[in-house]
Amino acid sequence: MGIYVNEEDIEDLLQIDLSSSSVPDSAAVARWVDDMEAEIQARGLGSHMATDVYLDVPSGIDSVSNFDWAYNARTGNLKFDMGRGSVIPLNNIKFPVIGVTTLYKNDADVSSAPSWEALTQWDGTSASTHYMLLNSGKKSLGYALWIYDEEPLPGPKRLKMTYLYGRNVASEILSMYCTYAIAVKILMARMGSNEPDGLSMLEGGDLGSFVNRQYTERIAQYRYEMLRIEAEHFPQDIELGMEVI
């Protein structure tokens, strides 16, 4: 059904069957899942891939010294102690960056078809590498590519990069969180329907009151679990619970 949520997990949690005739029906649940997972991606909570993102190489890029560096994305300043290379600020990418997967440069004439050459990232051990991903490590400061070998020519779309971004919350955690969130929406939709599927047996009394009371208790339980996951696993500046349900 989705990246983090599947129909079977929802049915197992709620002990109900989703179908075209259920309340709510499976189509409505699928739309809620899509909305929920779009919000997760918009907040960058998981690990997401941006593929073949083109980067412009500004003219007059700084030729700078390497190692023991300090980079400020707001000013574009980068300071090193020794060596030389070129710095390309990454101003229009999605944050936070987990890592660069591939990087290519194109030195062909702008009137010719692109000719992409792969560049190799420094890993601390390999020889014949070409670049490093620089991260200031400080809030509000950003990222840059330091290309110290096979430097690209200036111009638009001279680099093509695929990279991972996000808060890197484990997919298992996001799966639990999303499943609880969708379960809450399903139970809220079922309140007033007198649909007792998945509830304990009623012996006497009013069915409608019993169903709604049971649903209310389970909604409170699932919301508690969502808040616990937020507190234990989400970055402190991310709170989704009351917005998505």
Cα–Cα distance for residue pair 166/164, rounded to 1 Å: 7
Q: Which two tokens stand for residue 162?
A: 């695929």
Q: Count of alpha carbons within 13 Å of 166, Cβ hemisphere only?
A: 20
Residue by residue, DSSP assigns 106-154 as: E-S-TTS---EEEE-B--SS-SS--EEEEE--STT--EEEEE-SSPPPS
Q: What is the pTM of this model?
A: 0.69
For the chain, 245 residues long, give each residue's pLDDT as a single digit of tens.
Answer: 789 999 999 999 999 999 999 989 999 999 999 999 999 988 889 998 999 999 999 886 554 444 446 666 677 666 654 456 788 888 889 888 999 999 999 999 989 999 999 999 998 888 789 999 988 655 445 788 989 899 999 999 999 999 999 999 999 999 999 999 999 999 998 886 666 565 544 444 444 455 678 888 999 999 999 999 999 999 877 656 545 55
- Under 8 Å CB-to-CB from 176, ≥6 apart: which residues? 225, 229
Under DSSP, the state recorded for 195 is -
